[in-house]
């Protein structure tokens, strides 16, 4: 049986790591290389690093920084932010990234997903799907760090990305992000039921119970979190122990 992955997320903005609420009100939470070293010691399953202003500022990925991070990272590393071309993907993988997470470009130039998957394999292409809830209670996909809504239903968008060759979906609830009130289990279940590729749930984790809920009820394949690890005493290992006690298979 494939074991469930517990994945810390690092959000990078203007040289430091930050964390906000609903993709806003950012506050500094540390420095990237220091945090990578800590998570290496804690032997987490994977690490997600997202440059949250690269696409907004029309910047390329910081390849030198990714090279430095990869030198310190002894676990699978996913990198996102500013990816616009197959060449960007190639350079990130050459720098040491194991996977790339593509958000804005997946909406603007969806053929990038197909071309990247064909060139490098679906296993290293993640489509990052950020989702906002509308005033009518429906869901809508957003890009540019949640600043632009697209009018696209996240379930249909995720299915399209799978068809184009994406190997995983990183599904983030913008509304739940940073609240530590729990994942959007309903959203996660809808997307998980619609695709056959793994769905990484993100946005809202505040306790091991929240992680259990999104895995059990939301049918996620993995759980990403940031605030829970920055602002509480909970560690990835404690989450894994809780999940093991509740019969969720994880790597200890």
29 phi, psi to nearest 5 deg = -125, 5
Gap between the Cα atoms of 143 and 131, Å rounded: 9
CB atoms within 10 A of CB 76: 16
| pLDDT computed for residue 11 by the predictor | 96
Instruction: Give the mean pLDDT of the chain.
Output: 96
**Residue 164 clears pLDDT 80, i.e. is over it:** yes
**pLDDT value of residue 14:** 87
Using DSSP's 3-state secondary structure scheme, residue 129 falls into strand
Question: Percent of the chain scored above 90 by pLDDT?
Answer: 92
Q: Which pLDDT does position 24 carry in this prediction?
A: 83
Distance of alpha carbon 18 from alpha carbon 188, whole angstroms: 25
**pLDDT-derived band at 69, boundaries 50, 70, 90:** very high
Q: What is the pLDDT of residues 6-62, one digit of tens each?
A: 999 999 998 899 998 988 878 898 899 999 999 999 889 999 999 999 998 999 999
pLDDT average, residue stretch 202-217: 98
Residue 233 neighbours by CB under 8 Å, 6+ apart: none
What is the predicted pLDDT for the residue at 99? 98
5-245, superfamily in CATH? Aldolase class I (3.20.20.70)
Q: What is the pLDDT of residue 107?
A: 97
Q: Indicate the pLDDT class of residue 1, thresholds 50, 70 and 90.
A: low
Helices and strands (H, E) in the chain, number of each type = 10, 12
- Secondary structure element (H or E) that encloses residue 148, with its range: strand 148-149
- Domain map of the chain by residue range? 5-245
pLDDT at position 94 is: 98
Collect all residues with Cβ–Cβ distance below 8 Å to 137 and sequence separation of at least 6: none
**Beta strands 222-225; 199-202: pairing state:** parallel
Length of the chain: 252
Closest CA to 17 of 9, 130, 102: 9
What does the pLDDT look like over 224-242, one tens digit per residue?
Answer: 999 999 999 999 999 999 9
Reply yes or no on whether the pLDDT at 202 is more than 80: yes
Residue 27 has a pLDDT of 87
DSSP letter (8 states) at residue 123? G
CA pair distance 170, 106, nearest whole angstrom: 12
Note the pLDDT of residue 23.
Answer: 86
Residues ≥6 apart with Cβ < 8 Å to 123: 99, 167
Instruction: Judge whether residue 167 has pLDDT over 70.
Output: yes
Tell me the two tokens of residue 64: 């030198």
pLDDT digits (tens, 9 = 90+) for 75-88: 999 999 999 999 99
Question: Do 61 and 51 form a contact (C-beta atoms < 8 A)?
Answer: yes
pLDDT tens per residue, range 97-156: 999 999 999 999 999 999 999 999 999 999 999 999 999 999 999 999 999 999 999 999
Cβ proximity of 17 and 26 under 8 Å: no
């Amino acid at each position: 049986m494939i074991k469930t992955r517990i994945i810390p997320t690092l959000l990078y903005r203007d040289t430091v790591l930050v964390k906000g609420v609903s993709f806003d009100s950012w506050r500094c939470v540390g420095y990237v290389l220091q945090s990578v070293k800590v998570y290496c010691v804690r032997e987490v399953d994977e690490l997600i690093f997202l440059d949250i202003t690269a696409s907004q500022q029309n910047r390329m990925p910081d390849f030198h920084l990714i090279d430095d991070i990869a030198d310190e990272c002894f676990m699978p590393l996913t990198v996102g932010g500013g990816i616009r071309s197959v060449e960007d993907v190639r350079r990130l993988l050459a720098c040491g990234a194991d996977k790339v997470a593509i958000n804005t470009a997946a909406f603007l130039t969806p053929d990038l997903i197909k071309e990247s998957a064909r060139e490098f394999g679906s296993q290293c292409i993640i489509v990052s799907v950020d989702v906002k809830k509308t005033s009518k209670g429906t869901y809508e996909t957003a890009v540019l760090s949640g600043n632009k809504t697209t009018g696209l239903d996240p379930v249909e968008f995720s299915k399209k990305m799978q068809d184009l060759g994406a190997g995983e979906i990183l599904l983030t609830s913008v509304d739940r992000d940073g609240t530590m009130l729990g994942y959007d289990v309903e959203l996660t279940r809808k997307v998980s039921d619609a695709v056959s590729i793994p769905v990484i749930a993100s946005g809202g984790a505040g306790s091991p119970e929240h992680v259990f809920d999104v895995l059990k009820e939301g049918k996620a394949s993995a759980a990403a979190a940031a605030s829970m690890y920055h602002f509480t005493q909970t560690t990835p290992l404690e989450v894994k122990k809780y999940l093991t006690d509740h019969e969720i298979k994880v790597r200890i």
